[in-house]
Amino acid sequence: MNIPIRKWKPLNGSFSKDLNEALQQQHHAAQFIALAGHHLIEQLPDDSNTNMEYIPVWEMLLGHILPQNIRIGLHLTGLSISIFDKTNVEQKVILLQDKTKQTVLTS
């Protein structure tokens, strides 16, 4: 996968209640990736096994490779979790809207 590198850009405009809510939802959704990294791969002293990378062209946070060569990604704009196989082909999508954390974990 050839991932282009982009520079950070400042947010323009006001930091509204709606924007804050959206960012909070993205933060909580990203915890699914961190949770998988914490429990499914080797724990590293700096906890970097829980980190993720941002893939700009997919507008997605993508976690480390997990057992069985799968990866978990979070689509930031659509707020959905994707499961990718070892060739980065999307195998499953879990829409997060109106779901509890427990519902997502058992999906």
pLDDT class for 6, splitting at 50, 70, 90?
A: low
Residue owning tokens 């990604």: 73
**pLDDT tens per residue, range 52-97:** 999 988 889 999 999 899 999 999 888 999 999 999 899 999 999 8
Continuous segment of H or E residues that includes residue 45: none
Cβ-proximal residues to 91 (8 Å cutoff; 6+ apart), any chain: 70, 83, 84, 85
**pLDDT tens per residue, range 13-36:** 677 888 888 888 888 899 989 998
Query: According to the model, what pLDDT value does residue 3 have?
Result: 62
pLDDT class for 4, splitting at 50, 70, 90?
A: low
Report CA 89 to chain centroid distance, whole Å.
Answer: 16
Q: Is the pLDDT of residue 49 over 90?
A: no
DSSP code for 74: E
CA atoms within 13 A on the CB side of 101: 10
Q: Is 79 left (phi over 0), alpha (psi -120 to 50) or beta?
A: left
Query: According to the model, what pLDDT value does residue 66 have?
Result: 92
